[in-house]
Amino acid sequence: MEYPISLDTALSIVGSLKVKTMKEKSNAHNEDERKELDDKIRMYLQEERILYGTDEYNRMSVMDKVVNYYSPLIKQLNGFT
């Protein structure tokens, strides 16, 4: 299956969200909020591993998530929508 973005672009989007979440964590004051942000960071790390991995079905699943969820989210965060 072909996607409208490349693997490099998908990795860049996931990496950008991971860095954004790390910055949010450094500014978080509540312990529950820090734990939630830690979980998000772990999720982004796992998705990066999947994108680098060899399992085509897992990679396609993450690519689908990047195209349909993360890409519009990044556009919104950067003020393009």
At 35-71, the pLDDT tens digits run: 999 999 999 999 999 999 999 999 999 999 999 999 8
Q: Is residue 68 part of a domain?
A: yes
Number of separate domains in the chain? 1
The verdict on pTM exceeding 0.85 is yes
Cα 10 to Cα 63: distance, rounded to the nearest angstrom: 7
Distance, in Å, from the CA atom of 40 to the CA atom of 74, rounded to the nearest integer, reads 15
Long-range contacts of 48-57 (CB under 8 A, 24+ apart): 48/11, 48/14, 48/15, 48/18, 51/7, 51/10, 51/11, 51/14, 52/11
Q: Can you give the residue range of the structural domain that contains 53? A: 7-77
Confidence check: pLDDT of 1 > 70: no
40 part of a folded domain: yes
**Domain contains 2:** no
Could you tell me if residue 1 is inside a domain?
no
- The verdict on residue 66 lying in a domain is yes
